[in-house]
Amino acid sequence: MGNRQEILLTGAGGQGLILAAIIMAAAAVNDNKNVVQTQSYGPEARGGASMAGVIIDVDTIEYPKVTKPTVLLCMNQVSFNKYLPKVEPNCVIIADSTFVSGTYSDDYNVQLFPITKSAREIIKKEVVANMLALGVINAATNLVDRQIFKESIFQMAPKGSGELNQEAFDLGYKLFGEGAGQRINLSAESNK
């Protein structure tokens, strides 16, 4: 991956995407990179649309919004349907197979991981799915040094949850390493 990375974390309110983006930004700063983090969410606190952007670069960042994502995380079907058509084919797309399915052009590099399901069944806490997703993203892209990321999680996570969140982050690496991501690209004809 190049020097500039534009990461878009999308899903629903209550999935912890804004906290994930804040932690990712802190980790990048701790890894001596320039960072801008933005966020937006719908009027509903839970269940409404949620989106957070992080730009990481070694050079100056002149515009704060993600305009050409190099990494897209989709934690629900609505965000997958909305953002997939807006990214370039070379974008790394990670989707939570707990909630995302369907057809899309094989022009896209989509990988499905059971993010929320794994948090629920292995760690027994669905609330850490956001940290698990960060583990998958960082394993796939190497955006930030892994140890620096883990230390940043411990520093930024809500008090008393640092170790649990680090465990979820490590599980994301394990899922990625096990090849749990299923590239399910379907032919363009099946999308018609």
Q: Is the pLDDT of residue 182 over 70?
A: no
139: CATH: 3.40.920.10
The residue-averaged pLDDT of 131-143 equals: 95
Domain that holds residue 63: 5-191
Residue 185: pLDDT band by 50, 70, 90 thresholds? very low
Please say if the pLDDT value at position 183 is more than 50. Answer: no
**pLDDT recorded at residue 189:** 29
* DSSP codes, the chain: --S-EEEEEEEETTS-HHHHHHHHHHHHHHTT-EEEEEEEE-SSSSSSEEEEEEEEESS-----S-SS-SEEEE-SHHHHHHHGGGS-TTSEEEEETTT-----BTTSEEEEE-HHHHIIIIIS-GGGHHHHHHHHHHHHH--S-HHHHHHHHHHHSPTT-HHHHHHHHHHHHHHHHTT--B---B-GGGG-
How many structural domains does the chain have? 1
Whole-number pLDDT of residue 192: 26
Is residue 1's pLDDT more than 50? no
Q: 20-42: per-residue pLDDT in tens?
A: 999 999 999 999 999 999 988 66
pLDDT in tens, 69-117: 999 999 999 999 999 999 998 899 999 999 998 777 788 889 999 999 9
Whole-structure pTM value? 0.87
